[in-house]
Chains A and B, each alone.
Chain A
Amino acid sequence: MAYLDHAATTPMLPEAIAAMTAQLAVTGNASSLHAAGRRARRTVEESRETLADALGARPSEVVFTSGGTEADNLAVKGLYWARRDADPRRTRVLASPVEHHAVLDAVDWLAAHEGANVEYLPVDRYGRVHPEALREAVLRDPGDVALITVMWANNEIGTVFPVRELAGVAREFEIPMHADAVQAFGQLDVDFGASGLAAMTVSAHKIGGPTGVGALLLGREYTPVPVLHGGGQERHVRSGTLDVPGIASFAVAGRFAADRREDFARETGALRDQLADAVLAQVPDALLGGDPAPGGRLPANAHFTFPGCEGDSLLLLLDAQGIECSTGSACTAGIAQPSHVLLATGTDPDLARGTLRFSLGHTSTKQDVEDVARAIGPAVERARSAGLS
């Protein structure tokens, strides 16, 4: 078995499992005033401090959510509503066209239901938004921009964005900028305080924590309109009983993600390079996705386009040999659509159907790379004979 889909979810760290299971046995609602509640509250607040430290943020800037999708929705919708409420002219949303669907669909929803005027920023052939492009877009009318949302690193092709420079442009015009850093956390230096961002999304299960918990890093001067209404547990912008075991586990994983980041990036990056070399040796006309420049793509990401193949066919053939990866594209009822990321980079739609994303993680080994090296050539040959249906 070669599990090479860590960008979808990565195995939980033993330490994170230990922290979670320990808390599962403890009773206490972190909002309760009695001793059990105080105990739970303490666990939550210590976890908040740990995560804040791991992410270069203040504890009060950590808003726990049910995961990356909720954090993205809170940032995009909540900041849009708050900014528009403060000045009805602010209806323009500037977004990259290669965002994860949690951002993309939230932005499209604002356009369909809340009068947002969504403008997709131009990207280069690697899917990257350049600060000059952002500046140009803002300058068309700095007074009507509600928010900017651009991811830290792309989940499909791995391209890393110049987030600090982009946030610098946003700051200059006093426009809040959100970045989805779900894929970046643990692989890149995502220092929230140094980034200049107003908001940043992270998720536990991409770094060895549990599914169902994430956080929105939110600058103290921002008060998005809530998406979920209720008890107001998290700074009155997010309601819902806090998931103490999940949060405790998230904090442990977050600590490891920050502490091990440089070693992880170096070691996994080397393994990823071996994987890329092996695939390109077996399939010389395969195209490696993302920016090839040093630091241009996530160290654990290896995205390929195989001309003349269906990614679906490759997935089936590799799955049958115990190699687990992803086509990297979105699904509707399991039907593969050409990736919006590849289409945004100007890739031909037929070509965009032949993609595979291998994403490595903390359990990846040299054996995984060898398994792929052995299987990929015959798989591509066979998938090509099946053609594009």
Chain B
Amino acid sequence: MTETSQRPLRVLAAMSGGVDSAVAAARAAEAGHDVTGVHLALSANPQSFRTGARGCCTIEDSRDARRAADVIGIPFYVWDLAERFREDVVEDFVAEYEAGRTPNPCLRCNEKIKFAALLDKALALGFDAVCTGHYATVVTGADGNRELHRASDMAKDQSYVLGVLDERQLAHAMFPLGDTLTTKDEIRAEAERRGLAVAKKPDSHDICFIADGDTQGFLANRLGGTAEGDILDESGAKLGTHEGAFGFTIGQRKGLRIGHPAPDGKPRYVLDISPVNNTVTVGPAEALDVTALTAIKPRWCGTPPSGPGTYTAQLRAHGGETEVTAELTGDTLHVTFTEPVRGVAPGQAVVLYDGTRVVGSATIATTVRRERAAAG
């Protein structure tokens, strides 16, 4: 059962100015809900026009959202959540990178802004639900509780970035695109059919608050310029220099700029980032193999699991699934992989699934690397 077949609700549709949220709002309205559109102003000094493929932070995006709302025939407002966004998402993003971790700001935004600041205000103003253009499904389980599931179309599934939502947040979430077994082209065609001018607008896929897409430059600017440090191999020998340990991601291969190849001729990857020493350690791909991890700040969609259980896990936004056993000890989640996995970055979320159902998520804190025979 989908939300759109329920009794009419007062729905606040978050409209970024992109095609997905516009079609989501249109579907909610068409289903008979009383829909009001709202565009979140997340930047204190929005740029006039989009540059590249931004999706939410310019005056042009705000106008696109307003235009879509007018066509759908729903009221539309702009809410200024720039201050909350700066505190809860941008500062968190910078602090995480500064600590050598790799944050996911979209996840943080869903947890703290869209389904917290926005949802709380919506509920206080008498709305029943917040609607977004995410591809995920909310269903009511056998016990009457709300469950978050992967989208019908696994290729577009965005349940990973919603894995931070708890049951209360889910109870007020509406994702009209989640049960869509259609391609993005078909969503665009639907937008076209509905007369929505955003039908041809390019997708957004970068970090919305970094206008030019240059994350490294953004971080360098925020973290007080570049501080040159060493790039080391696993034995601690210096291979080269970098211009600031922040901004590297575990598993990263490109942009290391080590002048000479590895002795075995194989590519080298970022294995470790040490902000304290300002060093980046690199090594071969197999050194990235992780057998287990611990994760903190768990969030559960429903009852927390008791005892060890078998799940599938997703470790990054566009990553695949992998089989794990997981157990909660206090507020720490211990995850053991059935087969070693590569490129696990602290700061990212591990989202646990039971089939298509999201069980919960936690922030990766430490990883256990697979023991290897000494390099010879």
On whether the beta carbons of A316 and B59 are closer than 8 Å, the reply is: no
Interfacial chain B residues near A336, Cβ < 8 Å? 80
For window 75-93 of B, CB contacts with A under 8 Å fall at 75, 77-82, 84
On whether the beta carbons of B117 and A316 are closer than 8 Å, the reply is: no
Q: Is A389 an interface residue (CB 8 A)?
A: yes
For window 102-144 of B, CB contacts with A under 8 Å fall at 117, 120-121, 124-126
CB contact under 8 A between A383 and B66, given known A312-B77, A320-B36, A320-B75: no
Interfacial chain B residues near A383, Cβ < 8 Å? 125
CB distance from A192 to the nearest CB of B (A): 38
For window 306-321 of A, CB contacts with B under 8 Å fall at 312-313, 315-317, 319-320
For window 340-389 of A, CB contacts with B under 8 Å fall at 382-383, 385-387, 389
Contact residue range for chain A?
A: 10 to 19
On whether the beta carbons of B36 and A316 are closer than 8 Å, the reply is: yes
Q: Is A25 an interface residue (CB 8 A)?
A: no
Pick from A312, A319, A382: contact of B126, CB under 8 Å: A382
A189-221 contact mask (Cβ, 8 Å, vs B): 1 or 0: 000000000000000000000000000000000
Interfacial chain A residues near B275, Cβ < 8 Å? none
Complex CA distance for A312 and B125, rounded to whole angstroms: 11
On whether the beta carbons of B62 and A386 are closer than 8 Å, the reply is: no
CB contact under 8 A between A334 and B81, given known A313-B125, A382-B125, A389-B121: no
B180-222 contact mask (Cβ, 8 Å, vs A): 1 or 0: 0000000000000000000000000000000000000000000
On whether the beta carbons of B125 and A334 are closer than 8 Å, the reply is: no
Q: Is A333 an interface residue (CB 8 A)?
A: yes
Q: Is B8 an interface residue (CB 8 A)?
A: no
Q: Is B39 an interface residue (CB 8 A)?
A: yes
Interfacial chain B residues near A382, Cβ < 8 Å? 124-126
On whether the beta carbons of B41 and A333 are closer than 8 Å, the reply is: yes
Complex CA distance for A333 and B36, rounded to whole angstroms: 18
On whether the beta carbons of A387 and B80 are closer than 8 Å, the reply is: no
For window 281-336 of A, CB contacts with B under 8 Å fall at 312-313, 315-317, 319-320, 332-336
Interfacial chain B residues near A313, Cβ < 8 Å? 121, 125
Q: Is B302 an interface residue (CB 8 A)?
A: no
On whether the beta carbons of B81 and A389 are closer than 8 Å, the reply is: yes
Interfacial chain B residues near A334, Cβ < 8 Å? 39, 41, 62, 66, 77-78
Query: Which of B39, B41, B79 has most A Cβ within 10 Å?
Result: B79
On whether the beta carbons of B125 and A386 are closer than 8 Å, the reply is: yes
CB distance from B259 to the nearest CB of A (A): 47
Instruction: Please count the residue pairs between chain A and chain B whose beta carbons lie under 8 angstroms apart in the complex.
Output: 49
Q: Is B46 an interface residue (CB 8 A)?
A: yes
Interfacial chain B residues near A387, Cβ < 8 Å? 121, 124
On whether the beta carbons of B62 and A333 are closer than 8 Å, the reply is: yes
Interfacial chain B residues near A333, Cβ < 8 Å? 41, 46, 59, 62-63, 78
On whether the beta carbons of B80 and A386 are closer than 8 Å, the reply is: no
CB distance from B284 to the nearest CB of A (A): 50
Complex CA distance for A324 and B212, rounded to whole angstroms: 40
Interfacial chain B residues near A386, Cβ < 8 Å? 120-121, 124-125
On whether the beta carbons of B41 and A335 are closer than 8 Å, the reply is: yes
Interfacial chain A residues near B75, Cβ < 8 Å? 316, 319-320
Query: Which of B82, B117, B125 has most A Cβ within 10 Å?
Result: B125
Query: Which of A317, A320, A387, A389 has most B Cβ within 10 Å?
Result: A389
Considering only CB atoms, which chain A residue lies closest to B41 in the complex?
Answer: A335
Query: Which of B36, B77, B81, B120 has most A Cβ within 10 Å?
Result: B77
B63-76 contact mask (Cβ, 8 Å, vs A): 1 or 0: 10010000000010
Interfacial chain B residues near A389, Cβ < 8 Å? 79-81, 84, 117, 121
For window 156-199 of A, CB contacts with B under 8 Å fall at none
Considering only CB atoms, which chain A residue lies closest to B124 in the complex?
Answer: A386
Pick from A320, A332, A335, A385: contact of B124, CB under 8 Å: A385
Complex CA distance for A385 and B79, rounded to whole angstroms: 16
CB distance from B97 to the nearest CB of A (A): 27
Complex CA distance for A313 and B79, rounded to whole angstroms: 9
Considering only CB atoms, which chain B residue lies closest to A317 in the complex?
Answer: B125
Pick from A316, A332, A385: contact of B77, CB under 8 Å: A316
Interfacial chain A residues near B39, Cβ < 8 Å? 334
Interfacial chain B residues near A332, Cβ < 8 Å? 46
Interfacial chain A residues near B63, Cβ < 8 Å? 333
Interfacial chain B residues near A312, Cβ < 8 Å? 77, 79
CB distance from B47 to the nearest CB of A (A): 10
Interfacial chain B residues near A319, Cβ < 8 Å? 75
B299-322 contact mask (Cβ, 8 Å, vs A): 1 or 0: 000000000000000000000000
B27-47 contact mask (Cβ, 8 Å, vs A): 1 or 0: 000000000100101000010
Complex CA distance for A205 and B222, rounded to whole angstroms: 49
Interfacial chain A residues near B121, Cβ < 8 Å? 313, 386-387, 389
Complex CA distance for A162 and B125, rounded to whole angstroms: 42
CB distance from B224 to the nearest CB of A (A): 30
A208-248 contact mask (Cβ, 8 Å, vs B): 1 or 0: 00000000000000000000000000000000000000000
Complex CA distance for A220 and B36, rounded to whole angstroms: 52
Complex CA distance for A385 and B127, rounded to whole angstroms: 13
Complex CA distance for A336 and B81, rounded to whole angstroms: 11
CB distance from A196 to the nearest CB of B (A): 42
CB distance from B113 to the nearest CB of A (A): 10
Complex CA distance for A315 and B36, rounded to whole angstroms: 13
For window 1-60 of B, CB contacts with A under 8 Å fall at 36, 39, 41, 46, 59
Interfacial chain B residues near A317, Cβ < 8 Å? 125-126
Complex CA distance for A315 and B125, rounded to whole angstroms: 11
Interfacial chain A residues near B77, Cβ < 8 Å? 312, 315-316, 334
Complex CA distance for A320 and B46, rounded to whole angstroms: 28
B312-345 contact mask (Cβ, 8 Å, vs A): 1 or 0: 0000000000000000000000000000000000
Complex CA distance for A383 and B121, rounded to whole angstroms: 9
Interfacial chain A residues near B79, Cβ < 8 Å? 312, 389
Considering only CB atoms, which chain A residue lies closest to B76 in the complex?
Answer: A334
Considering only CB atoms, which chain A residue lies closest to B10 in the complex?
Answer: A320
Considering only CB atoms, which chain A residue lies closest to B126 in the complex?
Answer: A382
On whether the beta carbons of B78 and A335 are closer than 8 Å, the reply is: yes
Complex CA distance for A36 and B204, rounded to whole angstroms: 56
CB distance from B343 to the nearest CB of A (A): 38
In addition to A312-B77, A316-B125, A336-B80, 8 A-B residue pairs with Cβ atoms within 8 Å of each other are A313-B121, A316-B36, A333-B41, A333-B46, A333-B62, A334-B39, A334-B77, A386-B124
The 7 closest A-B pairs by CB, nearest first: A334-B78, A386-B124, A333-B59, A385-B124, A335-B80, A335-B41, A333-B62
13 pairs across A/B with beta carbons < 8 Å?
A312-B77, A316-B77, A333-B63, A333-B78, A334-B66, A334-B78, A335-B78, A335-B80, A382-B124, A386-B121, A386-B125, A387-B121, A389-B81
